[in-house]
């Protein structure tokens, strides 16, 4: 599996993300010779335990996520961030979950956008929207370097690409920047060879970051 970094848009303090930023970012990709290829979509679901009494809910993990990725249409990934657990399952497990009714969907988000090819790099720029809503909650970006699969070996290349990318974005004077937070894959039991489980973990980390940002903005407002 080729190597991928998942970045998210960090708006400057006091500003929020909007679709204008999204279109500027897309133009930026095209300015570094990215060729638009098609659409992509991933779906992330926050689960909450279904318990008879609300008080019991505290005993169960609160950060239980499920994510489906476009490159693995037959798989579904579960992550419990607090306990550093990631699991790859067949996509039919969602049917099982619905039948069990032990965990219900609290919130579901879509990552929706376009895919670009830039030589041996593949970029995806997507907006984060809750299902049944057009409210833009954030922007994510996937940077994939196709020839290598080793997390360590590709690190330098990815860092340099990120520098080039940040430079291109900063020319547009947007209120914010892209951030990459690399989770500690070893804690999740993942090896140096990149897999979709690594991607799932990166998305979970991104979500935690996005939630923290939103909460910070809300607390400032209040």
Partner 1 sequence: MRPQQPQHQQQRQLEAAPNANPDPAQSGEAPPKQVALAMDRLGDAARLIADIRLGADRLLEALFVAAQPHQSTKPLHLFRKEDASMRQHLQDLRSVGRQLEESGVLNESLRSRSNSWGLHMPLVCPDGAVVAYAWKRQLAGQAGASAVDRTRLALKAFTDQKRRFFPHLDDGLDGQSTESALKKHCGPQVLMGNHQEELSDYKTISDVLLHLEKEVPTLKVFTYERLDWLKRASSLPSSANETSIGTSKEHNFHSSNKLRPGSLSPVATEKISVIELLFPSIFRAIVSLHPAGSIDPDSVAFFSPDEGGSYIHSRGFSVYHVFRRITEHAAMALQYFLGSRAETALHSLLHWICSYQTLFTKVCSKCGRLLLMDRKSALLLPPVYRPYRQFSALKISSTQPNSSAKDTSSDLAQAYHVGCFSEEA
Interface positions with partner 1 (CB under 8 A): 1-2, 32-33, 118-121, 146-150, 153-154, 156-157, 160-161, 164, 192-193, 195-196
User: At its nearest, how many Å lie between partner 1 and the CB of residue 57?
Assistant: 35
* Closest to partner 1 by CB, 82 or 119: 119
User: At its nearest, how many Å lie between partner 1 and the CB of residue 152?
Assistant: 8
What's the farthest any 2 CA atoms get from each other in the chain? 56
* Closest to partner 1 by CB, 94 or 196: 196
* Closest to partner 1 by CB, 51 or 195: 195
In a 13 Å sphere around the CA of 89, the CA atoms on its Cβ side amount to 17
* Closest to partner 1 by CB, 10 or 195: 195
User: At its nearest, how many Å lie between partner 1 and the CB of residue 109?
Assistant: 25
* Closest to partner 1 by CB, 1 or 85: 1
User: At its nearest, how many Å lie between partner 1 and the CB of residue 120?
Assistant: 5
**Alpha carbon distance 79, 85 (integer Å):** 6
First to last CA, the chain: 45
User: At its nearest, how many Å lie between partner 1 and the CB of residue 183?
Assistant: 19
Partnered with residue 139 across adjacent β-strands are 127
DSSP secondary structure string for all residues of 55-105: GGGGGS-S-EEEEE-TT-TTEEEEEETTTTEEEEEETTHHHHHHHH-SEEE
* Number of continuous H segments (helices) and E segments (strands) in the chain: 4, 9
């Amino acid at each position: 599996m080729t190597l991928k970094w998942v970045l998210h848009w960090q708006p400057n303090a006091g500003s929020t993300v909007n679709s204008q930023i999204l279109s500027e970012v897309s133009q930026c990709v095209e300015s570094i010779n990215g060729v638009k290829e098609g659409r992509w979509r991933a779906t992330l679901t926050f689960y909450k335990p279904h318990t008879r009494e609300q008080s019991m809910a505290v005993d169960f993990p609160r950060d239980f996520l499920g994510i489906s990725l476009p490159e693995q249409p037959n798989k579904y990934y579960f992550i419990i961030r607090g306990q550093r657990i990631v699991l790859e399952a067949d996509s039919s497990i969602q049917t099982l979950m619905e039948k069990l009714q032990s965990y219900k969907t609290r919130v579901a988000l879509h990552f929706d956008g376009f895919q670009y090819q830039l030589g041996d790099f593949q970029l995806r720029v997507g907006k984060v929207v809750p299902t049944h809503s057009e409210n833009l909650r954030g922007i994510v970006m996937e940077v994939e370097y196709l020839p290598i699969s080793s997390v360590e070996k590709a690190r330098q290349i990815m860092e340099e690409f990120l520098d080039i990318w940040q430079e291109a974005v900063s020319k547009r004077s947007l209120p914010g920047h892209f951030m990459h937070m690399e989770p500690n894959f070893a804690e999740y039991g993942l090896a140096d060879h990149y897999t979709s489980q690594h991607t799932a973990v990166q998305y979970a980390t991104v979500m935690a970051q996005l939630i923290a940002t939103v909460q910070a903005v809300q607390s400032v407002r209040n």
